[in-house]
Each structure stands twice: as C-alpha cells, then as structure tokens.
Amino acid sequence: MEDRKITVVGAGTMGRGIAQLLAQHYVNVHMVEQNQTILGEAKEKIRGQYEILREYEFITEHEMNEALGRISLSDSLQDAQNSWMVIEAIPEVLELKQTLFQTLEEFCGPATIFATNTSGLSINQISVQLMHRERFIGTHFFMPAAIIPLVEVIRGDETSNQVCDEVMQFFKKIHKEPVLIQKDIPGFIGNRIQHAMAREAISLLEEGIATAEEIDTVVRWSLGVRLLFTGPLEQRDLNGLDVHHHIASYLYKDLENRTEPSRLLSEKVQNGELGTKTGKGFYDWDKDSQAAALQMKNAQLLQLMKWIRK
C-alpha cells in the first residue's frame, strides 16, 4: 500500500476518519482542506482517535506514530496530482461536489480514480460535467469511518469495470467490507433501509404508541442484536417465506408509507430541535451527556469489533 498516494479532500469528521483508516493500513494520505482552522486541528484530532484505538489495543504507540507520519496536509487542490485515488469528503451539496471534481480534473491525469463519499447524492449527477466519467465512482463510508467495516461502492453509468475492480480489491486489502452497488439509486442500500426503519419509528412516536426510549429499546434488543449475524433477507428464509408472506399480507397496508417527512420531524426541525447539535431532538442532551454518549458508543463499537476479530 505504501506506493499508493491517496488524497482526501475535506478534513471534517468524515474526512479525518477516512484518513485515519487509510494511514493505519500503510497508505500514504494527503489531506486537502481550505479552511485553515479545520486544517490546523486535523492531525491532533486524528491523533486523539488513534489514542482511543491504542487504549483498546487495536494499535501500538509505535504504529500510531508511524500512521500519523503517513498523513500530510495542505490547502491546495493542486497537491492532489499524482494520486492513485482522490476521495472527496466535503459537505453534501451537489454543486460543491461538481465544482470540486471539475477543478480536480485540471490537476489530475485521467488515470486517477475520483471517488465521492456521499450518503445518497447521485453519482451520475455529481460527475455529469466531467471529461473522464469512466474513472468516477462512489465510496460511501459509514461513521465512524475507521470503525464501521462497510463501504458501499457505487457504480455510475459510465464507471469502468476496471475501476470497480481496483476499488473493491483495495478496500478488501485494508480489511473493509465493500459491497458493489450496480445501479446509482438515491440513498444506495444502507440509507434506504435505515430511513425506512426511521420513518416507521418516528410514526410510532408521533402516534403515541411508545416513548422514543422504548421504541429504541425494542429495536436495539431485538433486531439490533440479531442483525449483525443475520440480514433481513436471510432472516426471512430462516422464518419461512410463507410465514413472511402471510404477515406481509395484512401488515404492509398498516405500515407508514408517507412520501414526505412526518409532521413531528418537520416541527422539530422548524423549532431548532436538531438533536445533539442543539441539545434537544427526540431526546434531551446537555454537553456532558453528548460527549459521554458518543464516547460510550464508540467504545462499545471498538469492543464489538475486537470480539469479532477474535
């Protein structure tokens, strides 16, 4: 991996997580960020994440220092030239992403793979104005990017088979679980299923069926425990498709199927109740509870991954 240079554009939470992941797997990473404050904080924040990994014995102090040495920083997109791949991790605004990749085409040769990290924007729309759409691909990481194994690799209409194969093989070599999505559909797979579940959960809360805590408890201690080992389609086979068909025949028509965000969700957004970023959402959050919850959940994920590796 050390002979491949990858440029990560964007040093926010996702960009830092991607850089951390790559560097700890012996990839030379160049981070580009034009906001000087974010750029100045990037390496220390990545060090902080490595310290957590070190605490759980995922890496040694020597490995951590070596990984940090593989990360370089700049504020110039021109430094992306000679990269094997450029991974974009800037805000989810279509026009920003389009402009960024058009600029990158001025500096990078046609052999450089362009990858966008998007939660659901169209791969085809992002790349529509590029000259070399055959080298453009989607790489959707899940937060925290250095811990969650999955990467959705999304093929655009013009993406070449060679680029798909190279990207899939690369992620396997750095111990990720890549899935190649053959069609550019909104939300890809993970977010479509996640939003379908969230839509039903919000509807249940809106109808007063249970509290937010109780709904989350049902999901965590039934579906959540099982989903790591059995996906929804395999579980249908285990239960029996005839059983599922019978339940579906009366339950589907009662499930939430609105095509717009729910009234409850819209009201919360209008009232500035945005979750941890404002201190109130479906739950109440103060600064201490926010930090404690995030730290605990990341620690639990790390413990789970350590158990899986064993």
**Active-site pick, 124, 160, 191, 298:** 191
pLDDT digits (tens, 9 = 90+) for 28-51: 999 999 999 999 999 999 999 999
Identical fold for domains 5-181 and 189-261, yes or no, is no
Kindly name the residue from 83, 117, 127, 140 that is annotated as catalytic.
140
Q: Is the pLDDT of residue 3 over 90?
A: no
Sequence ranges of the domains in the chain: 5-181, 189-261, 272-310
Q: Examine the residue annotation and report whether 152 is marked as an active-site residue of this protein.
A: yes
Catalytic residue among 72, 119, 262, 298: 119
Q: What is the pLDDT of residues 230-241, one digit of tens each?
A: 999 999 999 999
DSSP annotation string for 20-55: HHHHHTT-EEEEE-S-HHHHHHHHHHHHHHHHHHHH
pLDDT grade, residue 2 (50/70/90)? Answer: low
Q: Where are the beta strands (DSSP E) in 36-143?
A: 71-74, 85-88, 113-116, 136-141
pLDDT confidence tier of residue 309, bands split at 50, 70 and 90: confident
Question: For 60, how many CA atoms within 13 A lie in the half-sphere containing its CB?
Answer: 3
Cis peptide before 144 (omega within 30 of 0): yes
Residues in a beta bridge with 180 = 153
Top CATH class of 5-181 equals alpha beta
Q: Which of 33, 83, 117, 152 is catalytic?
A: 152
Q: Pick from 116, 45, 108, 33: which is nearest to 73 by CA?
A: 33
Residue type, 283: Y
Query: Which CATH topology does 189-261 take?
Result: N-(1-d-carboxylethyl)-l-norvaline Dehydrogenase; domain 2 (1.10.1040)
Average pLDDT over the chain, rounded to an integer: 94
**pTM (2 decimals)?**
0.91
119 among known catalytic residues = yes
| Contact (Cβ atoms closer than 8 angstroms) between residue 226 and residue 235 | yes
The reply to whether 140 belongs to the active site is yes
- DSSP type of residue 78: G
| 130-173 pLDDT per residue, tens | 999 999 999 999 998 988 999 999 999 999 999 999 999 999 99
Identify the band that residue 57 occupies on the pLDDT scale cut at 50, 70 and 90: confident
